[in-house]
């Protein structure tokens, strides 16, 4: 039977760490403590006396947690509640969970609090509490319930008491814990809301099992990390509050408990509940290794919104609703920077080895450092075996119309096909036919694209893939009320710029999207309202994959897509694993692209980058999904070890890292002030801060990266290459005089708090600018709020962000995909804006229109080169590096090569030796 614990005999300790010396701040955690304190002490809900509910914020050491915990626990005779919110850390050797303290970081686990110590304190035999509740809201918190931790799996199982309940926010890695625009962290926000507002149709008392089921449902509906729970004996029946939404509670108002220490206190006859903020639900921002425009339904009045749906450094996770302002002049040790560069260069030079590199006209036969960059390593592998991928995150969706992570665009080609794709012989930048017999027949002054389909292309049930299937798959991009996310922007703008089509679920006409015609099962025609020279590039995206209408499960399609490729889904457990097996109806003669060498393809999702690194270097897995690369510790060890570095490549990620100069924040509206920053920046220091030449990237003399037509590697307007990254302080001071600020000026650098390397870059830039009198303050903001913070020009002006550190990677390798979000004034939007410099140039807009309409890519490239020169001349952006990362490939892999368009290995060509 569920009963509400006696508040006079119960105690709660709420521990929160919101500010860290070397990890991203979590401001929402501080609000969690306030919200939970209000809920637990509210006389209408539980009514703990205030002295029985201790909020412990920012404890500096383990002792400062364990001593109060012991005191609080020994006072409890009915129920003890222990709550922690903050960062969680994992010991890479034991998998033990650590609770981060203000001075903690991953490299110094001894500075954090082992959860095992908390467990022992809670289960101390001297504690007389009959019920015990532990609630963890931190990264990796699921480790307290399952897997690998010595002893911590027994939190609920070994308690010699009536009931114990342990609830963890998630079993997954989440680098931040609070969705954009919300008051609390995602998990605690739902908990606080349930406690303070009640659960409709729930029981009169909110016990742990009821709360768990409710939180699970609410978080699942918002695609957020799912909680886990373990109860022992009657642990699930421990109640934490009366259900405010229950009819019995509405009719009854309890009298508040008098504080034991204040016997004279008079209870109020009708207390009013404390006001609680109402969190506004929001989707967690997900990102892969490259930022891309966000898919939104365009309106005829304004262009579709580009948005930072993905970020350049791993997953962009939910975070707090407020930025953290750090008023420091950050100084980066020059000795450290120089040492970092020289060490990295020495490692790379040493890793090249001798002349015996095993290279031949057929590729590379011997594994060496960077053997798969520019070559095919171990060409001609045989069929069979299991290819084992590992990832720290799951896909945003395996639905081809919804998937937007970079690795999804690459991996989905195992089970989807497109009319055209990228030729593997060209390092993946030249289009070649896939479903079609040839590239498009283009007529009508660049407005009409006609394709004939190959024969023998079948679905996994043996039925043929038809032109109607391709049309239907593309039409799904318009069903934005059901098919959310994905790179829908490009094709929707190209085919339906006015946004009149409603999608296949609402459209009742026989014709469907009129811009696409099907002339029998084997011919498809696209009729564009206006020419777009990159239209075939858009058709090469997985968003243009066919979908068989009878197999479309709408919003659930990503759980089990129907295959048109060489593999099909056997099983998928979200956030845990995916397994593909051969599609028996796939015909090799119909597919010139996919080798289909492995017998089985498995993906293991760990939620932990350290675990990913260990599984790769130990040989348990073959390849990591994505372009995050090895973590810092593993990377350093692998680069310096000749036996390991032969399994490393350093591909280009396709991302440019840079600083933007919002022109509405003075004095950045003056081109000479912007140029002063450009000349004063120490590019070598910035490169080192971002990871060095191997893991950070190559020095970027201009914004336009390699691999896109219009790039000129000799174009060096600020002498970056000439000066080997060193600043030109003389020219910087001259520009300061020209902009009327000879003694410098103050400004603010905005940087995401969940991007360590970007934070290091901000500090390096601050130090460099100080040499010419530019006094920069660094303001760190929640990365999940990027679209509504630095992506909102009005917010940028209000906060005075003169420099914004960001990154960008094109969705396909052309100037249109790269330049439009960054410099097209028509894409300068009130939120979700990526034109952060707020470029508003009619000249650039006309050049963009000219290049987009050009069907000859070489001619278009000349225009994009002109755009690059004009953007550089106006110093709209300060490019840092063309991104690279250190990738591990298993010695078992065959047919390995880097495809630039995917920013990594061409997955569908890979084979394995052995099982």
pLDDT digits (tens, 9 = 90+) for 337-350: 333 323 333 333 33
Q: Which of 139, 241, 185, 134 is nearest to 31 (CA)?
A: 185
CATH number at residue 729: 3.10.105.10
Would you say residue 775 lies in a domain?
yes
Q: Which domain holds residue 482?
A: 369-649+887-912
Tokens of 101: 């303290």
For residues 46 and 149, give the distance between their C-alpha atoms in angstroms, rounded to a whole number: 34
Would you say residue 361 lies in a domain?
no
48 shares a domain with 36? yes
217 shares a domain with 78? yes
**Structural contact between residues 580 and 588, judged by C-beta atoms closer than 8 angstroms:** no
736 shares a domain with 637? no
686 shares a domain with 552? no
Domain boundary among 251, 281, 316: 251
Is the per-residue pLDDT at 510 higher than 90?
A: no
% of the chain exceeding 90 in pLDDT: 66
CATH number at residue 902: 3.40.190.10
Would you say residue 334 lies in a domain?
no
Would you state the pLDDT for residue 94? 74
For residues 769 and 828, give the distance between their C-alpha atoms in angstroms, rounded to a whole number: 28
Condensed to tens digits (0 to 9), the pLDDT of residues 744-777 reads 999 999 999 888 889 999 999 999 999 999 999 9
670 shares a domain with 565? no
% of the chain exceeding 70 in pLDDT: 83
Would you say residue 247 lies in a domain?
yes
Domain boundary among 213, 233, 251: 251
Condensed to tens digits (0 to 9), the pLDDT of residues 678-700 reads 999 999 999 999 999 999 999 99
For residues 762 and 785, give the distance between their C-alpha atoms in angstroms, rounded to a whole number: 18
Instruction: Please state whether the predicted TM-score (pTM) of the whole model is above 0.85.
Output: no
507 shares a domain with 460? yes
196 shares a domain with 139? yes
Provide the strand spans (E) within 92-209.
97-99, 113-114, 131-138, 163-168, 205-207
Confidence of residue 145 (pLDDT cuts 50, 70, 90): low
Contact partners, residue 425, CB within 8 Å, separation at least 6: none
675 shares a domain with 544? no
Would you say residue 527 lies in a domain?
yes
Would you state the pLDDT for residue 386? 98
CATH number at residue 138: 3.40.50.1460
Is the per-residue pLDDT at 878 higher than 80?
A: yes
Count how many domains the chain has: 3
For residues 373 and 705, give the distance between their C-alpha atoms in angstroms, rounded to a whole number: 17
| Phi, psi (rounded to 5 degrees) for 606 | -105, -25
Tokens of 671: 């081109």
Provide the strand spans (E) within 343-439.
359-360, 363-364, 386-391, 420-422, 431-433
Would you say residue 312 lies in a domain?
no
Is the per-residue pLDDT at 249 higher than 90?
A: no
507 shares a domain with 393? yes
Give the DSSP H/E element, type plus range, for residue 452: strand 448-452
Confidence of residue 253 (pLDDT cuts 50, 70, 90): very low
Range list of H helices, 223-333: 247-251
602 shares a domain with 731? no
Condensed to tens digits (0 to 9), the pLDDT of residues 551-574 reads 999 999 999 999 999 999 999 999
Would you say residue 346 lies in a domain?
no
735 shares a domain with 588? no
| Phi, psi (rounded to 5 degrees) for 195 | -70, -40
Would you state the pLDDT for residue 365? 84
Would you say residue 276 lies in a domain?
no
619 shares a domain with 670? no
């Amino acid at each position: 039977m569920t009963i509400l614990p006696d508040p006079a005999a119960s105690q709660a300790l709420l521990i929160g760490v919101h500010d860290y010396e070397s990890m991203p701040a979590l401001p929402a955690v501080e609000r969690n403590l306030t919200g939970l304190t209000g809920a637990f002490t509210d006389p209408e809900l539980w009514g703990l006396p205030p002295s029985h509910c201790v909020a412990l914020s920012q404890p500096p050491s383990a002792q400062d947690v364990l001593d109060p915990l012991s005191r609080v626990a020994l006072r409890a005779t009915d129920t003890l509640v222990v709550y922690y919110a903050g960062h969680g850390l994992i010991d890479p050797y034991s998998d033990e969970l650590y609770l981060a303290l203000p001075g903690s970081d991953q490299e110094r686990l001894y500075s954090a609090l082992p959860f095992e110590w908390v467990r022992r304190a809670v289960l101390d035999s001297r504690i007389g509490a009959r019920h015990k509740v532990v609630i963890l809201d931190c990264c990796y918190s699921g480790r307290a319930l399952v897997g690998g931790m010595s002893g911590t799996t027994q939190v609920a199982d070994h308690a010699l008491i009536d009931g114990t309940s342990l609830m963890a926010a998630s079993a997954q890695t989440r680098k931040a814990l609070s969705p954009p625009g919300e008051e609390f962290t995602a998990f605690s926000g739902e908990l606080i809301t349930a406690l303070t507002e009640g659960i409709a149709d729930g029981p009169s008392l909110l016990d742990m099992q009821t709360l768990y089921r409710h939180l699970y449902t609410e978080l699942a509906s918002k695609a957020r990390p799912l909680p886990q729970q373990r109860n022992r004996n009657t642990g699930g029946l421990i109640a934490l509050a009366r259900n405010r939404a229950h009819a019995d509670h509405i009719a009854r108002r309890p009298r508040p408990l008098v504080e034991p220490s204040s016997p004279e206190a008079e209870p109020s006859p009708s207390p009013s509940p404390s006001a609680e903020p109402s969190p506004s639900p929001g989707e967690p921002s997900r990102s892969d290794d490259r930022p891309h425009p966000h898919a939104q339904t365009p309106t005829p009045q304004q262009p579709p919104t580009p948005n930072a749906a993905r970020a350049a450094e791993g997953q962009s996770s939910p975070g707090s609703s407020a930025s953290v302002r750090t008023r420091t002049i950050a100084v980066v040790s020059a000795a450290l920077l120089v040492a970092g560069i020289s060490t990295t260069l020495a490692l790379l030079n040493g890793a090249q080895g001798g002349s015996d590199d095993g290279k031949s006209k057929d590729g590379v036969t011997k594994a060496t450092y960077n053997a798969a960059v520019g070559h095919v390593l171990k060409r001609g592998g045989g069929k069979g075996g299991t290819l084992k991928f590992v990832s720290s995150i799951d896909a945003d969706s395996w639905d081809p119309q919804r998937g937007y992570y970079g690795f999804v665009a690459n991996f989905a080609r195992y089970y989807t096909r497109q009319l055209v794709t990228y030729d593997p012989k060209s390092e993946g930048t030249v289009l070649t036919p896939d479903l079609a017999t040839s590239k498009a027949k283009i007529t009508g002054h660049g407005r009409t694209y006609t394709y004939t389909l190959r024969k023998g292309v079948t679905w996994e049930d043996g039925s043929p893939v038809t032109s109607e299937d391709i049309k239907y798959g593309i039409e799904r991009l318009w069903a934005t009320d059901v098919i959310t996310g994905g790179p829908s922007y490009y094709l929707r703008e190209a085919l339906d710029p006015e946004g009149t089509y409603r999608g296949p679920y609402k459209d009742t006409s026989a014709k469907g999207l009129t811009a696409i015609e099907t002339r029998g099962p084997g011919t498809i025609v696209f009729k564009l309202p206006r020419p777009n020279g990159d239209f075939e590039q858009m058709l090469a995206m997985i968003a243009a994959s066919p979908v068989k209408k009878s197999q479309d499960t709408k919003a659930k399609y990503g759980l089990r897509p129907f295959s048109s490729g060489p593999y099909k889904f056997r099983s998928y457990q979200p956030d845990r694993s995916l397994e593909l097996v051969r599609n028996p109806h796939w015909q090799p003669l119909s597919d010139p692209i996919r080798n289909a060498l492995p017998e089985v393809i498995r993906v293991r999702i760990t939620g932990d980058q350290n675990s990913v690194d260990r599984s790769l270097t130990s040989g348990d897995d073959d390849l990591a999904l994505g372009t995050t690369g090895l973590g810092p510790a593993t990377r350093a060890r692998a680069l310096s070890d000749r036996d390991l570095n032969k399994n490393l490549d350093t591909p280009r990620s396709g991302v440019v890292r840079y600083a933007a100069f919002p022109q509405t924040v003075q004095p950045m509206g003056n081109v000479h002030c912007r140029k002063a920053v450009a000349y004063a920046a120490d590019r070598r220091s910035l490169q080192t801060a971002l990871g060095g030449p191997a893991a950070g990237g190559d020095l970027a003399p201009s914004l336009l990266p390699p691999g896109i037509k219009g790039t000129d590697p000799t174009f060096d307007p600020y002498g970056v290459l000439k000066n080997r990254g060193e600043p030109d302080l003389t020219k910087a001071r001259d520009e300061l005089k020209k902009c009327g600020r000879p003694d410098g000026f103050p400004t603010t650098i905005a940087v995401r708090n969940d991007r360590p390397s970007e934070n290091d870059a901000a500090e390096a830039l601050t130090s460099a600018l100080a040499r010419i009198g530019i006094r920069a303050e660094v303001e760190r903001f929640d990365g999940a709020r990027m679209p509504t913070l630095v992506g909102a020009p009005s917010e940028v002006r209000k906060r005075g962000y003169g420099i914004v550190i960001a990154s960008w990677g094109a969705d396909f390798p052309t100037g249109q995909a790269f330049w439009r979000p960054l410099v097209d004034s028509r894409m300068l939007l009130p939120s979700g804006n990526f034109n952060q410099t707020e470029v508003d140039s009619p000249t650039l807009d006309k050049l963009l229109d000219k290049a987009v309409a050009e069907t000859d890519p070489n001619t278009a490239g000349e225009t994009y080169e002109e755009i690059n020169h004009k953007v550089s001349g106006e110093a709209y952006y300060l490019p840092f590096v063309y991104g690279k990362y250190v990738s591990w490939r298993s010695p078992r892999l065959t047919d390995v090569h880097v495809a630039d368009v995917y920013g990594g290995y061409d997955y569908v060509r890979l084979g394995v030796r052995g099982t």
